Amino acid sequence: MKTSDRTRGFSVLEITLVLSILGLFLAISIPNFVGWLHTYRLKAATHTLANHLRQARLSAVYEGVNYQIQVKDKDQGNFYQVVQDPDGANRVVESIGKVVLDAAYTEVFIISAPSHGKITFTPRGTANSASIALQNSKGEQRKVVVNTTGRVKIE
Per-residue DSSP letters for 47-102? HHHHHHHHHHHHHHHHHTS-EEEEEE-TTTTSEEEEEE-TTTT-EE-TTT-EEEHH
Query: Does residue 123 lie in a domain region?
Result: yes
Counted domains in the chain: 1
Task: Give 115's DSSP letter.
Answer: G
Task: Give 138's DSSP letter.
Answer: T
Cβ–Cβ under 8 Å, residues 93 and 132: no
In percent, the amount of the chain with pLDDT more than 90 equals 61
Query: Does residue 5 lie in a domain region?
Result: no
pLDDT of residue 149: 96
Domain of 61? Answer: 12-154
Query: Does residue 4 lie in a domain region?
Result: no
Q: How far apart are CA 82 and CA 96, in angstroms?
A: 7
CATH of the domain at 76: 3.55.40.10
In sequence order, what are the residues at sequence separation of 6 or more whose Cβ sits closer than 8 angstroms to the Cβ of residue 142? 42, 43, 46, 133, 134, 154, 155
Query: Does residue 6 lie in a domain region?
Result: no
**Count of other CB atoms within 10 angstroms of residue 105:** 22
Say if residue 119's pLDDT is above 90.
yes
pLDDT tens figures, 33-91: 777 899 999 999 999 999 999 999 999 999 999 999 999 999 999 999 999 876 666 67
Pick the closest to residue 155 from 136, 133, 126 (CA basis). 133
Query: Does residue 101 lie in a domain region?
Result: yes
Integer-rounded Cα Rg, in Å, for the chain is 25
Query: Does residue 2 lie in a domain region?
Result: no
In percent, the amount of the chain with pLDDT more than 70 equals 92
